[in-house]
Amino acid sequence: MAVGDGQRESKLSWQELPRDLKQCGLTHAPKVAIGDGALGCWAPFGLEPAGIRFLIGSAMRANSILLTATILFAASFSAFSAGSKSLEGSLKPFLGKPVFETQVVFSDEKGKVREPYLAIAVDGTLLAARSYIGKLRRSEDAGKSWGQVQQIDMKISDSNFIVDDKTGDIMSIRMWDGNDRVIRSKDNGRTWVNEKVTVKPSKTMKGLSKSGKKVRGVKEGNKLGTYFMHANAGESGVTLRHGKHKGRLIISATYRPNAKEHPSDRKPGDEIVSCAIFSDDHGATWQVSEFFPDPFTEEAALVELHDGRLYYNSRSHSGYYDKAFARELRPDEKLRREAWSDDGGRTWKNLRISKVLPDGGGYGRGYGMKGGLTRLPVKGRDVLIFSNADTGGGDRSRMTVWASFDGGQTWPVKRLVYESFSAYSSLVAGRPDTATEGQIFLLFEGGPKGRYSAMQVARFNLSWVVDGERTGDGAVPSWLRN
């Protein structure tokens, strides 16, 4: 039996005690829960864990402190189980004999297979979404086979998935329609519920609102003088694992003033800008970060490095869209934007234009497209994988992956994944102690009948990437071969 302080109706209070017990060395889940049925201790979680017997009474209020603690232990079984697997492990499983294969997970003769979102649950279940129209498929065998297509409440402009490593919950956040909320799954994507959330503006956004220059509005209506928040076509979010912000959920997002022009052709003051949103209470409240230090950016990706810093990689709209503005592109308008954070994602600094990572898919007009990004869960190492069209602002084709071994400072090797039509992409790395360990998964738009005719999943390991083409940007480290 364990006792902990907390509030009866607070979801967070119900979750904290089993996490503390696990950190103290507890390794076995409870078998019996005794408590007051009126508390409804498992109702907020929507679960009744298999293997736990519930003994419920209605006249137990006299010993509420002890009984509440006992129920806490059982009701938070999913949180306990979520933390039972290692978050980071060895590099070795990602090496060995090169492995590579692809398979189609979505197809549509109408050519509208858009917005690939990819996540990996704490138990290794893979979730692949065609987020444009809310279609989802799950794989419980490391991508070898995929379940039936299911409909979820996900739409264009919603965020990619965020997996809470502590609770096991999977979320996507919606901010663009004036009704901030998340869709949340507590069973690795089988079922989903809608929950209202609070989104707090950044200091800069508060200043814009106070001055009357820009106040928050909604996506529909195109009212000048307003902006809306969205996270359309960003990469999947992360749970921070290191430093004083450990446990924080964070994902890239976009501040978007309402304007008639395409994001590449905006007037001063109407530029769209990348940012992030983060939560320290498991997704109930979200804080908008300060803006990325370069305007005309969106559809970004971020990862946490092993020292707790964050690396941010963004699409750029610095070119043009309307052909009336046609001009020769500068070399930097064909490359990705990068920045770092050392305060848990609240601010971004050290802006850099990548030397080698292309902002592919701008059809010669330099407005880029969504790319994928993931960090391999390896202790003490910052091995990153990035995906995009290797066309330097040109056509949407030649889906390629790049590898960095120093947290994004250099990208010494790349390898072609798919030569033909290909566009947006999303990446995840396999989790230790699951069937996905040692594997990298890439979900991308593209197929032989057109870039939006299908979505494919490529499954490969780091050895396959390292056997690719050298870029001249740094060197593959010797420790990779040891």
Q: Is residue 1 part of a domain?
A: no
Residue type, 181: R
pLDDT of residue 230: 96
pLDDT of residue 64: 40
pLDDT of residue 14: 52
**Integer CA distances (angstroms), 479 to 98, 380, 381, 385, 475, in order:** 17, 12, 11, 17, 11
Q: Hey, CA dihedral for 278, 406, 422, 393, is it positive or negative? A: positive
Q: For the chain, how many structural domains are there in total?
A: 2
- Asked whether residue 244 falls in the same domain as residue 366, the answer is yes
Q: Is residue 123 part of a domain?
A: yes
- Asked whether residue 41 falls in the same domain as residue 128, the answer is no
Name the pairing type of β-strands 162-163 and 170-174: antiparallel
Contact between 174 and 157 (Cβ < 8 Å): yes
Cα-Cα-Cα-Cα dihedral of 417, 419, 422, 425, to 10°? Answer: 10
pLDDT digits (tens, 9 = 90+) for 337-395: 999 999 999 999 999 999 999 998 888 898 999 999 999 999 999 999 999 999 988 89
Cα-Cα-Cα-Cα dihedral of 433, 138, 442, 248, to 10°? Answer: -60
Q: Which of 82, 111, 141 is the last residue of a domain?
A: 82
Q: Is residue 87 part of a domain?
A: no
Q: Is residue 5 part of a domain?
A: no
Bridge partners (DSSP) of residue 89 are 378
pLDDT digits (tens, 9 = 90+) for 81-112: 565 578 999 999 999 999 999 999 999 878 88
Which positions ≥6 away from 63 have C-beta within 8 Å? none
Q: Is residue 2 part of a domain?
A: no
pLDDT of residue 392: 86
- Asked whether residue 42 falls in the same domain as residue 145, the answer is no
- Asked whether residue 65 falls in the same domain as residue 108, the answer is no
pLDDT digits (tens, 9 = 90+) for 140-185: 999 999 999 999 999 999 999 999 999 999 999 999 998 999 999 9
Contact between 381 and 435 (Cβ < 8 Å): no
Instruction: Reduce the DSSP state of residue 13 to 3 states and report it.
Output: helix
pLDDT of residue 134: 96
Q: Is residue 3 part of a domain?
A: no
pLDDT digits (tens, 9 = 90+) for 384-440: 999 999 998 889 999 999 999 999 999 999 999 999 999 999 999 999 999 999 999
What whole-number percentage of the chain has pLDDT above 70? 82
Please give the Cα distance from 445 to 453 (Å, whole number): 8
pLDDT digits (tens, 9 = 90+) for 179-220: 999 999 999 999 999 999 999 999 999 999 999 999 999 997
Q: Hey, CA dihedral for 239, 245, 246, 248, is it positive or negative? A: negative
Q: Which domain holds residue 259?
A: 92-480
- Asked whether residue 22 falls in the same domain as residue 135, the answer is no
- Asked whether residue 404 falls in the same domain as residue 264, the answer is yes
Which structure tokens are listed for 339? Answer: 């920045």
- Asked whether residue 211 falls in the same domain as residue 330, the answer is yes
Please give the Cα distance from 39 to 289 (Å, whole number): 37
- Asked whether residue 108 falls in the same domain as residue 211, the answer is yes
- Asked whether residue 204 falls in the same domain as residue 286, the answer is yes
Number of other residues whose CB lies within 10 A of the CB of residue 86: 14
**Domain of residue 249, CATH code:** 2.120.10.10
- Asked whether residue 108 falls in the same domain as residue 78, the answer is no
Q: Is residue 246 part of a domain?
A: yes
Q: Is residue 153 part of a domain?
A: yes
Which positions ≥6 away from 13 have C-beta within 8 Å? 4, 5, 6, 7, 72
Q: Which of 21, 52, 82 is the last residue of a domain?
A: 82
Please give the Cα distance from 88 to 105 (Å, whole number): 28
- Rounded mean pLDDT of 1-21? 54
- Asked whether residue 298 falls in the same domain as residue 157, the answer is yes
- Asked whether residue 256 falls in the same domain as residue 380, the answer is yes
- Rounded mean pLDDT of 28-54? 46
Number of other residues whose CB lies within 10 A of the CB of residue 334: 22
Q: Which of 29, 63, 82 is the last residue of a domain?
A: 82
pLDDT digits (tens, 9 = 90+) for 57-78: 433 333 444 434 444 444 444 4
